Amino acid sequence: MRILLVEDDPQLRSLLQAFWPGAAAVFADVDSPIALAFIERYPTPESAARLGPKRMTAFCAQHAYCGRRSPEELLARLHAAPAPVNGELEMDAKGELVRCLARTLAPLVEQIRLLSSRIEHHVASSEDGRILMSFPRAGRICAAQILAELGSVRERFDSDAQLAAEAGVAPVTYASGKHKAVTFRWACNHRLRRALTTLADNSRHASAWAADVYANARGRGCDHPHAIRILSRAWLRVIWRAWIDRKPYDPAVHGGLQTMLKMAGG
């Protein structure tokens, strides 16, 4: 449930990068169960000095590692990180600190996993949840976050423009004298904006229409965050209509997609 809670533990990552960057680089998320187990088992560079492919393979098997990296690739990440330059006493003290943090975070991560499972079950059994899950790469947790912010009272948002303003994906013009600037609204529902931009970013890999909207925005000189907000605004028109009509997303009635397919001769 990365979108609902913190994406990473900044204190643990910062501490590791201060004396052992390799431990923060081995696995993608420093607060994942296997990363925490690795840190608790190897809290200092010295403790991992004899760690080779066989021991890494045994460690991954013991903790049911299901990532795409081989033990050799994980070791390569570990060795490619900058070498530590701390003294022995400082190294030992910081190693004990990261071990304590790992032990503290492990039960929290397990509770997050259990809560994520419950959220996924409830959103899949909800009518509104199934509507939001019907969008490309929406997923269950992302759909749950959007649904939590939308609520069940349709009258809250009279139009997709009002919802876009609430989500912070609607452009706003600021003018002062001869100066005029167009930017995105920052005073908004940040949780909703984050969920929508996550959906938009994921969708461009699964929807030709989303990829086209994103590519056009980048072609006009927009950077990645700007292009994602533009795509989020485009998706929000479709999401709002599906939510108001209480119908799942149907590509056959998606006007923008159908127009693109006709132009492409599809």
**How large is the average pLDDT for residues 185-199?**
90
Identify which of 53, 54, 42 has the alpha carbon closest to the alpha carbon of residue 84: 42
**How large is the average pLDDT for residues 83-108?**
90
Band of residue 182 on the pLDDT scale cut at 50, 70, 90: low
CA dihedral 56, 61, 66, 72 (to 10 degrees): 20
- Min mean pLDDT across 160-169, 184-193, 213-222 is at 184-193
Identify which of 243, 1, 249 has the alpha carbon closest to the alpha carbon of residue 121: 1
> What is the predicted pLDDT for the residue at 55?
95
> What is the predicted pLDDT for the residue at 8?
60
Q: What share of the chain is helix, strand, coil (3-state, %, to 5)?
A: 65, 5, 30
Q: Is the pLDDT of residue 261 over 90?
A: no
> Could you read off the pLDDT of 154-167 as tens digits, one per residue?
889 999 999 999 99
Average pLDDT, the chain: 88
> What is the predicted pLDDT for the residue at 184?
74
Band of residue 96 on the pLDDT scale cut at 50, 70, 90: very high
